Amino acid sequence: MTVPAQEWASLSQDEKRTRALEAADRLFAREGLDAPMPALAEALGIGVGSIYRQVGTKDELIGALVIERSKILSQRFDRTASDPDPWAALKRAVHETVDDCLRDALSQSAWDQAAIVSDEVRDARQQATDSLARMFERARDAGQITEAASPEDLRLLFFALREFSSIGADRAHRFTDLVLRGIRA
């Protein structure tokens, strides 16, 4: 959706940044991370320089998108702490994350690349990883996960689905259930 130049000029800095991130998200999802910044500028109806002023370089833009996704993961995994059934909560959060992996190729492909951008990106990713570990250990402490398993098993699952996202939702969730059965006590 192109934003008319007059409308763009009337937006606040935060609104401009939000619009630029939303447009970049759609563009990268459609064309991949190699999509050029002029294509983003065209989608917004502004010049490339305006994008750099609002969100910085392309790497910084990708980093901002990864930070947002990291926050979503952290919140999802942290919410499981209030569920009385740690295994059911873990299973639900893992399947939700699998759905994210399947429909969000951008964050999957950018996850590792964005880590080199800034400490802020690395910190956000680490928070998501720490939240995953807390969710996992809570289920283990409840006797629902085998001692041989580790949070890395779930990270490997997400990584595998990133690489094989074309298998489709049914197969991805079947694969997820197989992994979950493998870590269940």
Same domain for 99 and 26, yes or no, is no
Total number of domains in the chain: 2
Q: Residue 92: what pLDDT? A: 98
Phi, psi for 46 (deg, rounded to 5)? -135, 175
- Mark whether 82 and 36 lie in a shared domain: no
pLDDT confidence tier of residue 104, bands split at 50, 70 and 90: confident
The CATH number covering residue 50 comes to 1.10.10
pLDDT, position 35: 87
Are 70 and 136 contained in the same domain?
A: yes
Distance between CA atoms of residues 15 and 53, nearest Å: 13
- For 138, 140, 177, the CA distances from 84, given in Å and listed in that order, are 11, 14, 21
Positive or negative torsion for Cα 180, 142, 150, 100: positive
115, pLDDT greater than 80? no
- My answer on whether 33 and 88 are in the same domain is no
What's residue 43's pLDDT?
Answer: 85
Rounded Cα distance, 4 and 80, in Å: 43
Q: What is the pLDDT of residues 156-177, one digit of tens each?
A: 998 888 777 778 889 999 999 9
Distance CA 47, CA 95 (A): 40
Whether 84 and 43 map to the same domain: the answer is no
Last residue of some domain: 38, 56, 74? 56
Structure tokens, 109: 């492909």
Rounded average pLDDT over 34-61: 86
- Quote the pLDDT of residue 9: 79
Residues 127 and 73 in one domain: yes
pTM of the predicted model, to two decimals? 0.84
Same structural domain for residues 105 and 147? yes
Confidence of residue 124 (pLDDT cuts 50, 70, 90): very high
Q: Which domain holds residue 31?
A: 5-56
Give the tens place of pLDDT for each residue, 77-91. Answer: 999 999 999 999 999
pLDDT tier for residue 31 given thresholds of 50, 70 and 90:
confident
| Residue 30 pLDDT class (50, 70, 90 cuts) | confident
- Which residues have a Cβ under 8 Å from the Cβ of 49 and sit 6 or more positions away? none
